[in-house]
Amino acid sequence: MTGTDATPVDRRRLLAEATARLEAGGVASPAHDAAELLAHVLGTTRGRLVLVDEVAADRATAYDALVTRRAAREPLQHLTGTAHFRFVELQVGPGVFVPRPETELLAGWAIEQALAVAATEGRPPVVVDLCTGSGAVARAIVDEVPGAVVHAVELDEDAHAWAQRNLDGTGVDLRHGDMATAFDELAGTVDVVTCNPPYIPLWAWESVAPEARDHDPHLALFSGDDGLDAMRVLARRAALLLRRGGVVGAEHADEQGVEAPAVFTADGRWCEVRDHEDLAGRARFLTARLAP
């Protein structure tokens, strides 16, 4: 794949060979990932690869090493060091849950809710992001809602360090702690609570994609025998934090489109409990309003 000595390698050949290797390794999007890795190695964008005819031998060697790691199911974002989320670019790597495109829908809903508070009440909205991980949702909210007062918390030490990198200079109040006890001083004052909690049942270990199972922190993945332990904690904590009429949004597994909302319905303090689908039509996140 790397040519001999210092002989440049044809870009099309590199991409074709890399795509085949990634496909054989079970990567879900082999052509996309092959192109992203080559763009990363060349310091360009995937869209501008068409302007490259040949790749220098040393760059081809570096590319080969990254393709080998990706074929072994190391996350693409760990190899490039970045993840795109809505309109921001995040730093990610070992020790933090890589933000998924599906979570952008939850962030978009929270942004709409926060903007509505600002428009109707003429004040900065107060938002809390529990289980912030890389800080993706909190960063998107502060980026798209001018003046928003955003608080975030993460329990895992390594993930918290990544969140610090991504939220530095944004004004977000980031804390290292447990979602179950965070932000007591905000009780009854928050407009929007967001959370992408762990939601995979412990018994589903073998079904989890290697990129997540072997590289994402388990604290961000697994949540009891039915995957809903963290959701139950969220229902209680959000009820304490929110003002009357405030709203909460939380991601869940696509198999939990009934069970996850039922946690909030059974709690008795919530109204307008609804579930929302992602762009593929799969149940993806729930929302609820604290009863007046």
Q: Is 196 found in the same domain as 137?
A: yes
φ, ψ of residue 85 to 5 degrees: the values are -140, 110
**Is 70 exceeded by the pLDDT of residue 215?**
no
Q: What is the pLDDT of residue 80?
A: 93
Number of domains the chain is built from = 2
Over range 29-44, report the average pLDDT.
94
Residue 80 in domain: no
Known binding-site residue numbers for substrate: 196-199
Residue 255 in domain: yes
Express each pLDDT in 108-154 by its tens digit.
Answer: 999 999 999 999 999 999 999 999 999 999 999 999 999 999 999 99
Q: Is 124 found in the same domain as 26?
A: no
Residue 126 in domain: yes
C-alpha neighbours within 13 Å on the C-beta side of residue 244: 2
Q: Is 117 found in the same domain as 55?
A: no
Residue 13, amino acid: R
In which band, very low, low, confident or very high, does the pLDDT at 34 lie, cut at 50, 70 and 90? very high
CATH number assigned to the domain comprising residue 31: 1.10.8.10
Q: Is 247 found in the same domain as 135?
A: yes
Give the residue ranges of DSSP H helices in the chain.
Answer: 11-24, 30-42, 57-71, 76-80, 103-121, 136-144, 157-167, 210-213, 229-241, 259-267
Give the C-alpha separation, 241 to 127, whole Å.
10
Residue 219 in domain: yes
Query: Where in the sequence is the domain holding 37, given as residue range(s)?
Result: 9-72
Express each pLDDT in 97-118 by its tens digit.
Answer: 889 889 999 999 999 999 999 9
Known binding-site residue numbers: 154, 196-199
| Nearest-5° Cα angle at 204, 198 to 207 | 105
Known binding-site residue numbers for S-adenosyl-L-methionine: 154, 196
Q: Is 223 found in the same domain as 265?
A: yes
In which band, very low, low, confident or very high, does the pLDDT at 198 lie, cut at 50, 70 and 90? confident
Report in angstroms the alpha-carbon separations of 106 from 97, 225, 226, 249.
16, 25, 22, 7
**Is 80 exceeded by the pLDDT of residue 167?**
yes
β-strand pairing of 190-195 with 126-130: parallel
Residue 4 in domain: no
